[in-house]
Structure 1
Amino acid sequence: MEGKPGITFNQLAKVAEHFGRGVLFFLESEPVQPERIHTPAFRTLANQKPELSIKVKSLIERVEKQRTVYLALRDELENPDLTEFSPPDLPQNAPQAAADIARVWLGLNDVNDFETYRSAVEAQGILVFRSNGYNGKWQIAKESPILGFTLYAEDCPVIVIKKQQSEARQSFTLMHELGHLLLHRISSIDDENDMHSRLGYEREANEFAGLMLVPDTFLQKIDDTARPRHVDQYDDWLKGCRRDWGVSTEVILRRLLDSGRLSQQQYAAYRRWHAGLQVPQLDGGSRAYRSREPIHIFGDTFVRAVLGALSRRRITLSKASNYLDGLKINDLHQLEKHYAGL
């Protein structure tokens, strides 16, 4: 500054907003202490991916604040339906056994999709957020390589999934992040490369996800003699399995590869073919059901906690709106009616 004209208050406010801070943060005279600003989970993710954008870092902080809100509401409501996280003890170096135990713990059936997987995970005391498709504070940008992250906590972990074109891919990301929670008990942030890694914790999380989504009993339903000669027909060959299990063709092929029923050449050929497909990019879509967007973003568990606190007058309409992505009062009432079945 040195006696020269400084930036205006409005300019400072914009700088603060860019970094997810209030203006007063930049007016503090004391040195910044990182350990007071960021949680251990945040620092873990930042160390794993030092190149994280400001938007992703701000999203992580925002998720942590929502988790704090949820815990306060859960303690206030004393609702037995809001389950506390109590993970099973999974055997190490025994991926099939670990996945079998986890599937029983989640109570999974033979037919699933992303929403049933999400509901099963939430029922075990884990919050599952999904970024929305609109440019805003709850979006992971389409161009970002980040597909999901996990904030580990003993009382209530959070899994965040990037909204993708295919819900089957979201299912794999969800189970990959669940693997980090149950097997490694750590916070983790993952991109496209991590979802195909053959090293360390990422390899274990990928193997766990594959076994969770396609256990050996599922593989027995696939007829190898019916496998087409050309990889561009694999999607049709596995269409019924993909629909029932809520997974992508690639996940099934990877399981067949690991089981010795598919060659590396066939698997690689399919991936090359699929990578060359031109997938149409969808726009943000219609916001005709704006009142239900908080369910898609924060999940049923979080939304029910907020509405429960509102109905018992533990929080105001203004706070409920703030917790639910700035939902307008009229939309908030529509959301209440949706849960009331009206």
Structure 2
Amino acid sequence: MRTEVTINPTLLTWAITRAGFDMEQFLNNHPIIQKWIEEIKKPTVKQLEDFANKVHIPFGYLFLPEPPKESIPFPFFRTGNINTEKVSLNVFDTIQILQRRQDWITDYLIDNEHKPLAFVGKFDKNANANNVVVNMRNTLGLHPNWACDFATFEDTLNFITHKIEEIGVFINFNGVVENNTHRPISVSECRGFVLVNQYAPFMFINAADAKAAQLFTIIHELAHVWLGESAGFDNQNLLPANDPIEKLCDAIAAEFLVPASSLIDIWKDKPSIDYARRVFKVSPVVIGRRAMDLGLITRGEFFVFYNAYMESYRQKKEKQGSGGDFYATARKRVSVSFASVVNQAVNQNKLLYRDAYKITGLKGDTYQKFVTQHLH
């Protein structure tokens, strides 16, 4: 027997719009839903479940009396004068996924008597950028020109990721919602965001972005941790929003990666972005951005260089195509540090396997293979 249900038609139109579909096109492709909206017919439970999957919405939402008020818990900064609390559904769902992970691991750490991280919120918006940089380097155990020790800027990125996770900050690299390759996260909308709390700060880095830009994003987000402020950002052209904290985080990231005095000295002998990036082992776009900040190149020269570099990256990425090792990707999407704590909780009988699957986005045999073969 078919069980038909009555729901508020407003929830249907809200869900379609929320998912980013064009209303007219969606209803043309699914005429039965038009009949539900007009209340000519009623959907069955199975039909509603299929609809919920199509529009990426929790099934229970469809039985609410009216659409829920959804907002993100921090400002999302756009380069220029704009900040917003409204983001695309893919970004919104990713924020919620990381919030759930953060909530769980925070409770776990507190239950196991971990102390708050001393560096979270150590400075405020009135801090001197250089003082924050010195404290960040000391906490991470780095000397001022630490990046010069590596062969390539990719090595620099891998090293600093490991160092940051060692002090208790979790980093998730992903370019899609969890593992759903049909739900990409646009770099033009979101280069990254950071969820700050005293026990388990979480960073999200858009893995679809060039590694050249990811390095700057990571340190920009780390600065937010030191200032105790959650935020999201697009950082178009690696430039901050017109906001005091964003500008401070930007200045901190720039000095952390490329100390001003060192770059000025090198530039006197050889004014070249390519030469400087080989010395500092950071990406050429970071060198270019720093050179612009210090007046070594003009704003126009930086934009010409930056746009050419990113276009070259896009072309290279198109030639490479997609694919790759699922488990290597999962190590970065989930964070090895986070997955290790989840595995520990499972082994201590403090977390059910089904909950471990849900919180990591890895199911059954995939989860087992990941934790047994790919965590170390």
Please report the TM-score for the alignment, with normalisation by the length of structure 2. 0.72
> Does structure 1 residue 42 correspond to structure 2 residue 73?
yes
Show the counterpart of 1:231: none
Task: Give 1:3 deviation, angstroms.
Answer: 5.8
Residues 180, 205 of structure 1: 8 Å contact kept: yes
SS at match of 1:129: strand
Q: Secondary structure at the match of 1:146?
A: coil
Distance 1:101 1:213 in 2: 14
- Contact 1:18-1:54 at 8 Å conserved across structures: no
**Which residue in the other structure is 1:156 paired with?**
200
Unaligned 5+ segments in structure 1 are 229-233
> Are 1:271 and 2:306 matched, yes or no?
yes
Q: Which residue of 1 aligns with 2:4?
A: none
- In structure 2, relative to structure 1, the CA distance for the partners of 1:124 and 1:275 (3 Å cut) is closer
Q: Look up the match of 1:335.
A: 371
Q: How do 1:108-187 residues align onto structure 2 when only pairs under 5 Å count?
A: 108-109=142-143, 110-111=146-147, 113-132=156-175, 136-137=179-180, 140-142=184-186, 144-164=188-208, 166-183=210-227, 185-187=228-230
> In the alignment, what sits opposite 2:133?
99
Identify if the C-alpha distance between structure 1 residues 218 and 12 changes in structure 2 by more than 3 Å, giving closer, same or farther: farther
Q: 1:15 to 1:99 in 2, by over 3 A?
A: farther
Note the 1:72-91 alignment, pairs <5 A: 72-76=107-111, 78=112, 84-87=116-119, 89-90=122-123
Structure 2: stretches of 5+ with no match in the other structure:
1-8, 10-37, 151-155
2:51, 2:287 → 1: CA distance? 47
1:50-61 superposed matches below 5 A: 50-61=85-96
* Counterpart selection for 2:263 from 219, 223, 229: 219
Counterpart CA distance in 2 for 1:64 and 1:18 is 23
- Partners of 2:324 and 2:305 in 1: how far apart? 34
Flag the 1:150–1:280 CA change in 2: closer, same or farther, 3 A: same
Instruction: Tell me how far 1:107 sits from its aligned partner.
Output: 2.0
Say whether the 8 Å CA contact 2:116–2:198 is kept in structure 1.
Answer: no
Contact 1:140 1:162 (C-alpha < 8 Å) held by counterparts: no
Q: Deviations over 1:192-247 (max 9, x none)?
A: 3383136323222211111111124642673533335xxxxx43x234235x3xx2
1:176 aligned partner, one-letter code: H
Amino acid at match of 1:197: P
Among residues 348, 351, 355, which one is paired with 1:319 in the alignment? 355
Cα distance in 1 for residues equivalent to 2:367 and 2:296: 52
Structure 1 pair 175–225 and aligned structure 2 pair: CA distance change class (3 A)? same
Structure 1 residues 166, 215: CA separation in 2 closer, same or farther (over 3 Å shift)? same
Per the alignment, residue 27 of structure 2 pairs with none
Match of 2:18 in 1: none
Percent identical pairs in the alignment equals: 17
1:291 CA displacement? 3.6
Q: 1:206 to 1:14 in 2, by over 3 A?
A: farther
CA distance in 2, matches of 1:42, 1:99: 27
Do 2:74 and 2:85's aligned partners in 1 also have CA atoms closer than 8 Å?
Answer: no
Query: Which deviates more, 309-318 or 42-51?
Result: 42-51
Do the aligned partners of residues 160 and 334 (structure 1) sit closer, same or farther apart at CA in structure 2, a change above 3 Å counting?
closer
Give SS of 2:171's match: strand
Question: For the residues of structure 2 that align with 1:28 and 1:90, how far apart are their CA atoms?
Answer: 43
Deviation at 1:319, TM superposition (A): 3.0
Q: TM-score scaled by structure 1?
A: 0.78
Q: What's the secondary structure of 1:207's corresponding residue?
A: helix
The separation in 2 between residues aligned to 1:128 and 1:253, in whole angstroms, is: 25
Supply the AA of the counterpart residue of 1:42: P
| Alignment partners' CA distance in 2, 1:11 and 1:251 | 51
